[in-house]
Amino acid sequence: MNRGWSSDWLDQLPEVEFLVIYEQQIAFDEARAEAKRKAYEKAGR
């Protein structure tokens, strides 16, 4: 599951910090997908 991150700086992050960033990234992606879905629904009506 590649989210476009460079592995160079990932290797330098502590694992806990990485997990926090990763969770935020997932939440952001889900929010964006939800917004996109709603926009499609509006356009479809």
Integer angstrom CA distances of residue 13 from 6, 26, 44, 45: 12, 18, 43, 46
Looking at residue 18, its pLDDT comes to 80
Q: Are 18 and 10 in contact (CB under 8 A)?
A: yes
- Residue 33 pLDDT: 96
pLDDT of residue 14: 79
The DSSP 8-state label assigned to residue 13 in this structure reads S
pLDDT tens per residue across span 1-45 = 455 556 676 677 678 888 888 899 999 999 999 999 999 999 997
Tell me how crowded residue 25 is: count the other CB atoms within 10 A of its CB: 13
Q: In this structure, what token pair is assigned to residue 22? A: 């990763």
